[in-house]
Amino acid sequence: MPAIPPIVCAVEAKDPKPSFETALTKLETIVESMESGEVPLAELLAKFEEGNKLLKVCEARLKDAELKIEQLRKSKDGVTFAKFEAARES
């Protein structure tokens, strides 16, 4: 069985769930490189896939934050606040 190159091992060792800020920064970098028009097609597809994964991470982090805010509002000294409605683009 052939040995796995060290680069592959290093990639797998990364945190699979980066912070919102890290994921957003990486996503912005990917979008900028894709918009430049200087990325070969094969790399463009790989960047698109990575961007989709990062987008899902960002969406999950935002949803978690929204749920946490709702929990805090409901538990804050018995005071009830209006439900937070996030503006979502379709």
Where along the chain do its domains lie? 17-75
The least confident of 18-22, 32-36, 46-50, 78-82 is 78-82
* C-beta separation of 34 from 47 below 8 A: yes
* Residue 7 Cα distances to 2, 13, 56, 59, angstroms: 14, 10, 25, 28
Tell me, what's the pLDDT at 18?
A: 87
More confident residue, 19 or 74: 19
C-alpha angle with apex 14: 8 to 17, nearest 5 degrees?
Answer: 135
Model confidence at 77: pLDDT above 50: yes
**CA–CA gap between residue 59 and residue 62 (Å, rounded):** 5
Asked whether the predicted pLDDT for residue 60 surpasses 80, the reply is yes
Instruction: For residue range 32-58, list pLDDT tens digits in order.
Output: 999 998 889 989 999 999 999 999 999
pLDDT of residue 1: 45
CATH for the stretch 17-75? 1.10.287.1040
